[in-house]
Amino acid sequence: MRLSELRIAVFAILMVFFQGCGGDGPEPAPPQKTPEQLAVEALTGSGSLTWVIAGGGSVTRSGTNVTELYQTFELQINSGTTKTYTSINNNDLFDASGNWSFAGTNFDKFILTGSKPAAGREISFTRTGDNLRLEFNIPAPGGRINGVFAVAGSYVFNLVKK
């Protein structure tokens, strides 16, 4: 074998060696999240989020501003195997605590457990950045407190992340 042939053979072997030593290629993309996972994250972040009126939120009932009734309202929504919630300063509209679940398979509505007027209602939600908008309706028969239609109406809660 002549020197030039030896150089070509060594060069070819080195090329094969260096190509084999390259990286493992691009990292595979993480698996896509399901619509349900995305909806849970919108409500609870990475496990739990608290949403409040203070700091820019508002509440309307049938188009009338009733924010003053809920100025210190807080709603904490938790994910996990049992989806739970707690609320404070809720003006007897929400239960103090309970569970929540999605209403249907579109994952844009949830239902709270409990016995207060908002429990058992489909609550539509939309999250935009640090804002969460809840919309639900309490019909007159379900809106009674002490026999009065005190809370019946269409509600819109514009909440901010605490």
CATH of the domain at 41: 2.40.160
Q: What is the DSSP letter of 92?
A: T
* Residue 139 is assigned to a structural domain of this protein: yes
CA distance 72 to 91: 10
pLDDT of residue 28: 84
CA–CA separation, 102 and 108 (whole Å): 8
Strand-strand pairing, 84-88 and 153-161: unpaired
- Give Cβ neighbours of residue 86 (< 8 Å, ≥ 6 apart): 75, 76, 96, 97
Range of the domain at 54: 35-161
| DSSP 3-state of 62 | coil
Handedness of CA 80, 123, 133, 95 (dihedral sign): negative
Residue type, 35: P
Using a pLDDT cut of 90, give the percent of the chain over it: 70
Report how many domains make up the chain: 1
For residue 19, tell me if it sits in a domain: no
Query: 23-76: per-residue pLDDT in tens?
Result: 566 788 888 999 999 999 999 999 999 999 999 999 999 999 999 999 999 999
86 belongs to a structural domain: yes
In a domain, 47, yes or no: yes
Residue 90 lies in a domain: yes
Pick 139 or 87 by higher pLDDT: 87
Q: Is residue 11 assigned to a domain?
A: no
pLDDT score at 140: 78
| Entry pTM | 0.78
